[in-house]
Structure 1
Amino acid sequence: MRWWPRSIRWQMIFGLALLEVLSVGLFALLLVNLQQRDIHRRAEHRLAHQADSVVEQAEEALRKQSPDWIALSAHMMSQAPSVSRVRVTDPAGNTLYESSDDQRARSLDAAELAQIPLVRNSTKARVITVDKDRWESVKPIYSGANLYGYAWIESDRHWDTEELDGVLRGTGIFALIWIGASALLVLLITRGISLPLALLHKGTRELASSPESSGSFPLPITTSNEIGDLIAAFNRMVAAVDEQRSGLRDTLSLLDSMLAYAPVGFAFYDRHARTVRVNQIFADLTGIPISRQLGRTPEELFPTEVAGQFHEALQKVFITEEPVSDLEFHGVTVPGPWTWLVSAYPVSTSPSQVRWAGVIIRDVSERVRSEEALRKTEKLAATGRLAASIAHEINNPLEGLTNLLYLLRTFSGLSGPALDYVHMAEHQTRRIAEIAQKTLRFYRQSTLPVRARVGELVDSILDLYKTRMHTLNIALESEMDPEATLFCYEGEIRQVLANLVGNAIDATASGGRLIVRARRSRCWTNGEAEGVRLTVADTGSGMSPDVRSRIFEAFFTTKEAIGTGLGLWVSQEIIEKHRGLVSVRSRAAGNGGPSGTVFHLFLPDDETLASRQRSAG
């Protein structure tokens, strides 16, 4: 409850004040009820006595045959402070005398007229309540045996309630004095409680905020009651904790120095695979700060595949209570692929229980990358030598053929269709020379990135393959955003598109559809980076899951003698160079349903590409 105070002092004051207000209110309610009953009872006696007095004086005046004295008697009675009005009426209720000057009150109302039959033969005054604000007494006036009329006496309610108002005022003054005195008393009493508690609270907060600091302890004991005993116990607890912490610091210092300066990564896990402790080398290897690792499981920190291997190794240690050595973990992060050599061993706190599992990690990524680079270098060197040899062997006869065609066109005197054939032959020989040069430049890099229209890039590639698609009866479906532009290395993006379109045509050699789309989009992983999404899809033979998992490996190909296995590998490097993403979906023929392959590329529109490449270089 927001309105309820938080401190003990004000809670007691507020609670006591609330209790006293309720108590005084209840007392005032009972007192008012009793006073009202007493006032009503005394008013009834007074009105009856006043009616008897007026009737006696009226009957005496009638006996002395002086009816004018009746008016005088009524007038005298109306001067009493408790009387509001005096009336004398005839037996029918018609007013004979009225003490009030209000002409509208000359006749009786219906409630008063209803009382006449009830008091006609009564010898006592009858007190009636006309409404909640009018008390009235009535008594018949007889002249001998004859009914002369009725005397009506109405009480002044203001006079009746003055006493009740005085009681209420006295009760209110008493309540204020009582509540103020009680609040002052509680304020003085709670001071001896709240001050020691505030001191204890302050010490607790200092201990929680700076456990190593003991300058404020022991806390002073200012009272000799139970709170003083509590402060003394707290001081003893702080002293015991400080002593234990001192011994623990020495042990942890030895352990920290060993873990900090070890050349490998260390980590410790409990039986729920939660991280208990790691060293800085381990944090550097994982790229996750130590503070974020403590208390978390491998599933919360690492990619799914790596986390599964970690969890499996930990469970094996806890179940078998035997170490597990030389496990290879592989993964890919922003800097590149990595390889860890992992060993796990049990850590026991008692002979019968393995409490933790220790993990030692050695990063062998550089060694693996060096070995892989050596293998790729040897293959690329062999490929380069082979390509150079092929180009050289092609260029020698091609040069002779070009010269012969030139001589034939210039000196043979050919004309008409024969000369046209010579021109066509020269054009084809130039195409052969261009293809030979492109074979040697399969990884061509532009000097600087430029802003290019994506539609024009795609169309330039599709134009190269139009004749081949027409020959193979492949239907082209092209959908381009004419306004889409991209800041990129234009020649490299052409190379990626050429590889994807060429592979799609090869897979759809028996006829089918080729779908190419390009549009503005956002990155599908975080939704923040803007760029261009390229889609190249075909209805060809598709790929099996095993083939799909290896298509970006260097020298892996399914085209046997005609494939080099470098197209998609180079394409992936170009996409990574542009900080792009690629996803592949494929269904092989014969698995039911339509077959085909879909490549989705996202290339961010990043104008810092050139500066980033220079800093990376």
Structure 2
Amino acid sequence: MRPRTIRGQLMGGLILFEILVLVILSVLIFQEQRQELQSRTDQRLEYQASTIALQSGTALEDKQLSSIEHIVNAMRAAPGIRSVQITDMRGRTLVSNGPEAKGGMSLSPYERTFLHELSKPAIFWSAPHAREAVAPIRIHGELQALVWIYPDDSRDRKQLQSLMRITLFSAVLAIAACTLFASFMAGAIARPLGVLMQATRKLVHDPEDTSSFPIPVSSANEAADLTLAFNLMVASMAEQRAGLNDTLALLDSMLANAPIGFAFFDHRLRMVRVNQFLARMNDLPVSRHLGKAIEDVFAPAAASRLSAGIKQVFHEGYAVRDLELLNEEPGQLPAAGVSDARSWLANIYPVRTDTQTVRWVGVILVETTERRRAEEVLRKSEKLAATGRLAASIAHEINNPLEAVTNLLYLIRHGELDRNSMQYVELAQDEIVRMSEITQQMLRFYRQSTKPVLSNVCALLDSVMALHQRRAAALQIEIVRSYKSDVELFCFSGEMRQLLNNLIANAIDAMTPGGGRLSMRVQQVRRHPLSGSAGVRVTVADTGSGMSREVRRHIFEPFFTTKEDTGTGLGLWVSAEIIQKHKGSVSIRSLARNENGRGGWTVFSLFFPSDLEQMLQSEAVELQPSDAV
């Protein structure tokens, strides 16, 4: 199995290389020593064979076989000789110190080939691993016999084995020494790499943790260069990450605090990121948006159009601009009294990871609910203004024939009439006077003053009440007035009359059809408990149906109304603007009727400061109606 570490690979490679070199070196040394030993053996055998042949030739010429036997036996004691024999040219043994029988035929077929002709000593292999030496014995130049020497190679084998043992021992020592050296070298190389690897793994585990860097460098080799390069790379990455984090922090801050909604969708039309403003738009936390489909967050009508726009951007790759979304069916406007009717303007754009692929789709949402409501308020206000102008024109036109009718009735009254006719004329005169007062009140509503003037609050209240007198009487509503006639206030009289008319009309509507009591009070206030200034307090109270806490929270919103058939939802909204314009304040206390239809009441308490001219130069006080039981 291949080592996985540089240290193991280096040590394993060095050991294998050493073993291979030592094996080759040992084989070469063994071959060289064996050849050298064989060469020495051959030289020795040749010398010994020549010596015996020379000595034996002299003894054989003198017919002294005993001398030859003595020579042969003496050679047996020589090192490296197993046996010696002398044969004649027919192969019969003449003298031998081995097991060969004297006079016998002991030569092998191959050995007998040397009987025919041999001019000098010869060394040959008679059998595998069996060498022999043969030398001719000549007498007077004629070949008379042959000397055969059979060497003993056990000594040579022992020398070779000893050489092998020395070689193996030297190889083991060399491998051990090289292993120690390789281990030291591998440790010196792998140690800085190990430190680098440990620091790298720590950085991979936590990319923000660079406490292990820079790694100390204690050498001047390639590993040190690699460590220095890695230190520079980590420092550069940390600097880039810091810049990227700063950029992301700026982008996150922009997304979180932008006054518009941001959302990003994947191919499954699920939200992958939204900002806090969009979450507040939907009254849901950011976590409730992530991974959700569009239908889980938006109303069906708005979700349908938004989904179609996102799919179009994914398919075509182009932005969709100014897509209007409504949480109602398209074409419907926020209805009166419906406070949750909302609208948005969406801009949808592609987010690409390269020049071709659309990875996400971004949506910028701007809520236009208030703008649409303001536009609707403006339209209705224009209608009301046009209606007011028309009513004023009609009142003005009615005044002319009323004046003529009044003159005619005056002439009739001074003529000769019976008693009954005179009563009818007086009744007609009274109705004409009442009609004239109504037309005058209508003209006063339309003729708005451009500057605040000193007005009698009680007279304004009476003039408004005169318009509702007949209706209140028909509903059996008891009118209770608690004020004097000398309370004056510096105000815009036309707008103040409109404000009082809205409160009285709402009070009468609340007591329809069961009747009740309408109480009106006007009083001077020397010191208001909150502002500390002097002024006038106007209180309008009724015993009608009352209001719940939820209704009280929305009564000053445009288009909010509890009178679905007849209400516009603009009366109290306009009234709040008038109160704020006069730097006033309002306190509302109300109790809704119980299940049995009893116990309901409402009290509007208005306060207006006396020094309006001075306060017009200061900041307007925010209108905050109090919740009361």
Give the TM bin, normalised by the shorter chain.
0.3 to 0.5
TM score, norm. by length of structure 2: 0.44
TM score, norm. by length of structure 1: 0.44
Greater C-alpha radius of gyration: 2
